[in-house]
Chains A and B, each alone.
Chain A
Amino acid sequence: MPVEKKYETPLLDQLETGEWPSFVKEIKAAAENNAMANDLLGLLEQSYREKIGHWKHGGIVGVMGYGGGVIGRYTDLPDKYPAISHFHTMRVNQPAGWFYTSEALRTLCDIWDAHGSGLTNMHGSTGDIIFLGTRTEELENVFSKLTAAGFDLGGSGSDVRTPSCCCGKARCEWACYDTMGLTYYITNRYQDELHRPAFPYKMKFKMSGCPNDCVASVARADISIIGTWRDEIQVNQEEVRNYAKSGLDITKEIAMLCPGKCIEWDGNEIQIDNSNCRHCMHCINLMPKALAPGKDRGAAILVGSKAPIVEGALLSSVLVPFIKLEEPYDDLEIWEVIENMWDIWCEEGKNRERIGEFIQRVGLGNFLDAIGLEPQPEMVAFPRDNPYVFYEEYFEEEEDQ
């Protein structure tokens, strides 16, 4: 149904020019038929005028039985913009790898046109399909139609957040394990943890197929599963020569930039000292036709990355230097490690303390003790350089000797 234009938007209109696709055009397109999108235009123009947002954070709306998947929002100007007096986000769990058919996309659009603002994010930062803006009374309607179409809500709050991954074996020769298969498995294994928040704070999984880490798992996931290999890089010398012929300076652009300094090029063949290879991917990235990760493939598992809130940003650090990730996934030992981590974190963690911060607070050594893993040199960049060691036991002279 057509909706009459309600607002002049001279500031936003200036973002319709230029060659990059314009979000203002998207909102205006939705506003032609949707009163919520129309009021959003008016509100956003006011924010642009006043240089301040006009949203209140809701903390209680959701679908029945779930504690995640819906982010409550209300404008602080409901009288002026009544259509967005409620404007809740729904996070819809994306298919692994973000592959769709046109039919599936149209189904999602039909649901959202009938019950929401007609505006989305494809996708949110964590990976979900974001349905941007609806009313409290529409949440169950959207949810029932989504589940009928085979979709479910993603995570929010202190729960397992929607796991995401790179396209892996679907379209990448560098995938060292089946990222999409494992992501699908993890998402289903932890449905309860995803929908019913039971943790001190959020818990993100991201699966990257190789050390290029296209889903930024080392920076953005509490559990970062990054594909790698532990045998020799596969080399096709003929193709290496072809790269050299086509102008690639193998000594300067590859050998000299190799962080392990383990590559030599004599003008005819490339030699790699694989025992010093750091698995950085640079040489493979530059010569994809000539080099490939080895055949003994798996992943390293790192833990603890997060954005600054509360105690500062962290990158994930190594917990398992190498693991084979092959089906049946049920049989992998890593689930016990992960669930032990959650147990100790739930027992001792503080509200809003991510697992990375928790590990920093209690110390990685103590954390390993608690989850039953042995310390390994791969877990640190270097051993301690301070001598204040917390020894836990000492000898006493025996009394009745």
Chain B
Amino acid sequence: MALDIEKVKEAMYKLVKDSAGMKKWKATDLHKACEELFGDEYDKRGIGKDAIKELVEEGKLVYTYFGGSYLEIPHKEGAAND
């Protein structure tokens, strides 16, 4: 059976959430972790890319930039003025 995109999204979200504040995830890091989790079924150019896109469009993850682009749980940014 083909890999379910919801499963991939759930796994990615958990990776990011569980390490918030300790490790920042780049898209490439999430792909590597998912390759370990799901093995050959995981295609970073297909389902992997789509999963990230959906997570961002659903507002569960957000792109951030601090000298490199990362995917994080949405939060108020440190530098923001009210």
Contact residues of A with B, CB < 8 Å? 56-62, 64-68, 72, 74-75, 78, 85-86, 136, 156-159, 192, 196-201, 346-347, 349, 351-352
- Chain A residues within an 8 Å CB radius of B66: 59
Segment 43-82 of B: residues with Cβ below 8 Å from A: 49, 52-53, 56-57, 59, 62-69, 72, 74-75, 77, 79-82
B69 near A85 with CB under 8 A, answer: no
B57 near A65 with CB under 8 A, answer: yes
Q: Cβ of B28 < 8 Å from any Cβ of A? A: yes
B67 near A352 with CB under 8 A, answer: yes
B49 near A56 with CB under 8 A, answer: no
B77 near A61 with CB under 8 A, answer: yes
A366 nearest CB across to chain B (Å): 19
- Chain B residues within an 8 Å CB radius of A199: 27-28, 69
- Chain B residues within an 8 Å CB radius of A56: 79
Query: What are some 5 contacts across the A-B interface (CB < 8 A)?
Result: A64-B59, A65-B56, A196-B53, A200-B28, A201-B68
- Chain A residues within an 8 Å CB radius of B67: 351-352
Given contacts A59-B64, A62-B63, A65-B56, list 13 more A-B pairs with CB under 8 A. Answer: A58-B80, A60-B75, A74-B80, A85-B81, A156-B65, A159-B69, A196-B52, A196-B56, A197-B69, A200-B26, A201-B68, A347-B32, A349-B28
Q: Whose C-beta in chain A lies nearest to the C-beta of B28?
A: A346
Checking B26, B63, B82 against A351 with a beta-carbon cut-off of 8 angstroms, the contacting residue is: B26
A-B pairs, top 9 by smallest CB distance, nearest first, are A67-B63, A197-B69, A157-B69, A158-B69, A78-B81, A56-B79, A198-B27, A85-B81, A60-B77
**Within the assembled complex, what's the spacing in Å between the Cα atoms of A240 and B35?**
64
Checking A58, A67, A352 against B56 with a beta-carbon cut-off of 8 angstroms, the contacting residue is: A67
B57 near A64 with CB under 8 A, answer: yes
- Chain B residues within an 8 Å CB radius of A156: 65
Checking B26, B28, B49, B64 against A60 with a beta-carbon cut-off of 8 angstroms, the contacting residue is: B64
Q: A60-B75, A196-B53 are contacts. A66–B28 as well, Cβ < 8 Å?
A: no
**Within the assembled complex, what's the spacing in Å between the Cα atoms of A192 and B74?**
21
A139 nearest CB across to chain B (Å): 13
B57 near A74 with CB under 8 A, answer: no
